[in-house]
Amino acid sequence: MGTAEETAGGEAQAWGEVTPDAARRLLIAAVEAFAERGYHATTTRDIAGRAGMSPAALYIHYKTKEELLHRISRIGHEKALEILRTASRREGTARERLADAVSSFVRWHAGGRTTARVVQYELDSLGPDARAEILALRRQCDDEVRGIIEDGVAAGEFDVLDVKGTTLAVLSLCIDVARWFNVDGPWTPDEVGALYADLVLRMVGEK
Amino acid sequence: MGTAEETAGGEAQAWGEVTPDAARRLLIAAVEAFAERGYHATTTRDIAGRAGMSPAALYIHYKTKEELLHRISRIGHEKALEILRTASRREGTARERLADAVSSFVRWHAGGRTTARVVQYELDSLGPDARAEILALRRQCDDEVRGIIEDGVAAGEFDVLDVKGTTLAVLSLCIDVARWFNVDGPWTPDEVGALYADLVLRMVGEK
DNA sequence: GCCGAAGGTGAGCGCTCGCTTAGTAAGGCC
DNA sequence: GGCCTTACTAAGCGAGCGCTCACCTTCGGC
């Protein structure tokens, strides 16, 4: 796993798949604005302005402001799921896979805090159909983590009272990093990832 | 500690200190609306409507929409601090005090989810002065929890690598309950409180 | 050198927002 | 009964919102 080379203003490399260039610039501008002020407090004029364009230019590439949030949410959740899948499906003990999953997931939330904040906390601003689609991705994230914990319990590595509840708590802990993590604070994303991996292993009765 | 007699729509008894009656009704209406749609997506017309009043009536009791959020935030944070103080200052081992703090704090977030959601997640919608005031209260909450953990480490009850980081993780875990807890879900606030107290004791190296 | 598509702009429409103002109804006090 | 205070409403102001439309510019293909 790479170190956290991302900063609050420079998470752009994650959006490489979005084309053309103007559409990507608008998307990145929207991520920054949504993260700073929230979806409803962000104006389309602000997004276009950050991308160096006129307010009308936004509507050449996106039908509505909500479509921007939908696109950001889907790409972000797909990335989150990919991170958890990679850790879950590697070889190794349940302990190693869980530590890997937590530390890389936390690193993503801390290092890409701008993106993660939008992805994790602006879900309710989507309409019913879009929200349902995203919630399906989120359930898959839950499944990956629960799978690792179940494996650990079955192998006798972990000692867990309530698998479903513990899964939820582990994910909740990781996700909430996006709320409190501060780039100017005392920790790097790597440090928080390592600390949290240790805490989670304790939660599942390991160590 | 009492059981959770609160429901999503009936957390009214917590606002008994707000007078006169019309001001309290408006405040409760605002809590419900902010929790459902977020501060920026809520209109003053909606708040007044829920309280059974005309849009203008709001401005007899509150100078601005932001003052409503400020008042809700302050009262809510004072309640949260009181819960943590009560648990922190009771007699007993650090283990007992920490379990008490976590279970009652979690119960408040789960049972009073409507209120807790506004209190914990709409902080950024406040202006700089109001936010600074609330952040001071929040720092006091941190101090209470860190105090218990430090006591436990000093007494040899706990085994903690990073006291500051663990404190943050414990509070983060509790606060995030307000985001995911669902009244119609499989758990009662009491059950989540008990589960989380167990998980936190594991995090600090107890049990 | 001309043309049409692709990608942009300036102006502005219709609407809803937070908030204000003028007026009204009810109740306590003398 | 007269009068002030308190609590409220109907109407609406100015501003800013999401979004549209008529028009302009650039550029590859022939």
Amino acid at B199: L
Alpha-carbon distance of B56 to B166, in angstroms, equals: 47
Task: Name the token pair of A38.
Answer: 């929230």
Average of pLDDT values for B73-86?
95
Shortest Cα distance from B67 to chain A (angstroms)? 17
Alpha carbon of B55 to those of B39, B44, B50, B68: distances in Å? 17, 6, 10, 14
User: Class of the A66-203 domain?
Assistant: mainly alpha
The answer to whether the C-beta of A54 is closer than 7 A to strand C is: yes
What pLDDT band is residue B11 in, cutting at 50, 70 and 90?
low
A194 CB-to-strand C distance under 7 Å: no
pLDDT band per the 50, 70, 90 thresholds, residue B195: very high
| Contact of B107 with B84, CB cutoff 8 Å | no
- Angle (CA) B76-B123-A169 rounded to 5° is 75
Average pLDDT, rounded, for chain B = 91
Contacts of B165 in chain A (CB under 8 A): 187, 192, 195
The pLDDT, as a whole number, for residue B169 is 98
Q: In angstroms, rounded to a whole number, what is the distance separating the alpha carbons of residues B193 and B118?
A: 20
Say whether pLDDT at A6 is over 60. Answer: no
Domain with CATH 1.10.10.60 in chain B: 13-62
pLDDT higher than threshold 90 for residue B158: yes
Residues of chain B with CATH 1.10.357.10: 66-203
Mean pLDDT computed over A5-18? 60
pLDDT band at B10 (very low <50, low <70, confident <90, very high): low
A183/chain B closest Cα distance in angstroms: 15
| Single pTM value for the model | 0.90
Indicate the residue type of A58: L
The answer to whether residue A5 scores a pLDDT higher than 90 is no
**Amino acid code (one letter) for A13:** Q
pLDDT at B2 over 50: no
pLDDT in tens, A75-105: 999 999 999 999 999 999 999 999 999 999 9
Question: In percent, how much of chain B has pLDDT > 70?
Answer: 93
Separation CA A74–CA A77 (nearest Å): 5
**DSSP 8-state assignment for residue A124:** G
How sure is the predictor about A2, in pLDDT bands with cuts at 50, 70 and 90? Answer: very low
| A102 at interface of B, judged by CB pairs closer than 8 A | no
pLDDT at B12: 58
Quickly count: other Cβ atoms within 10 Å of residue B179's Cβ. Answer: 19
Q: What is the pLDDT of residue B13?
A: 62
The answer on pLDDT for B5 being more than 50 is no
B68 band by pLDDT with thresholds 50, 70 and 90:
very high
Angstrom distance (rounded) from CA B156 to CA A17: 53
Burial class (CB in 10 A: 0-12, 13-18, 19+), A151: middle
- Give the span between the Cα atoms of A18 and A22, in whole angstroms: 9
CB contact under 8 A, B205 and A202: yes
Mean pLDDT, rounded, for A51-68: 94
**Residue B207 contacts A where some CB pair is shorter than 8 Å:** no
| Contact residues for A43 (Cβ-Cβ < 8 A; gap 6+) | none
Average pLDDT over residues B193-200: 98
Task: Please report residues of B whose CB lies closer than 8 A to that of A125.
Answer: 38, 41
Whether the per-residue pLDDT at B177 is higher than 70: the answer is: yes
A2: closest CA of chain B, how far (Å): 22
What is the distance between the alpha carbons of residues A116 and A134, in angstroms, rounded to a whole number?
A: 14
- What confidence tens digit (pLDDT) does each residue in A128-176 have? 999 999 999 999 999 999 999 999 999 999 999 999 999 999 999 999 9
**Interior angle at CA A202, CA A201 and CA A204, nearest 5:** 65
pLDDT digits (tens, 9 = 90+) for B87-123: 999 999 999 999 999 999 999 999 988 999 999 999 9
pLDDT band of residue B15 (cuts 50, 70, 90) is confident
Q: Nearest by CB to A40, which of B38, B161, B172?
A: B38
Q: What is the pLDDT of residue B199?
A: 98
pLDDT at residue B8 in the model: 42
Q: Tokens in use for A116? A: 């993660």
Interface test with B, best of A172, A174, A198 (most B CBs within 10 A): A172
CATH value of B13-62 in 3.20.20.150, 1.10.1740.110, 1.10.10.60, 3.30.70.1520: 1.10.10.60
pLDDT of residue B139 exceeding 90? yes
